Amino acid sequence: MHLELEVKTTAREQFVNITPQLNELLAKSEAKDGCCTVFVSHTTAAVTINEDNDPDVMEDLLRHLKILVPLKNDYRHREGNSDAHIKAALLGCSLHLIIRSGSFDLGTWQGIFLAEFDGPRTRKVKVWID
């Protein structure tokens, strides 16, 4: 089953917890056990799994990504968003999730996030439930 989620971001760089929306899609699919692929088809956005209980974790991650890959540097790409491409490449464009008993088999503190690095934009997250 192929589904799509639309996510509107509000800042140039941010993490958006998409776990609740993905849980809704999973419930509609009526899948009980299997796998799910989450894919973002953008070169300046990514998806990742990390702690969703303490928002400071994601703020720390974003802050340190900015240190590792600054907005301005000796980049050759003319659009001025090379940092966004690099950050997205570091985190990745897809996730593979296990579905068990109708739910994502995530750890206690884990959530699924869209990582925006060149916003604000409207992003499409593609979801394949098998």
Q: Name residue 83's amino acid.
A: D
Q: Percentage of residues in the chain with pLDDT exceeding 90? A: 97
Looking at residue 63, what is its pLDDT? 98
pTM value is 0.95
Q: Which residue has the tokens 């990582």?
A: 115
Looking at residue 91, what is its pLDDT? 98
Q: Which CATH architecture has domain 2-129?
A: Sandwich (2.60)
- Tell me: cis bond preceding 70? Omega within 30 of 0 counts: no
What's the pLDDT tens digit per position in 23-45? 999 999 999 999 999 999 999 99
- Tell me: cis bond preceding 20? Omega within 30 of 0 counts: no
Question: What integer best gives the mean pLDDT of the chain?
Answer: 96
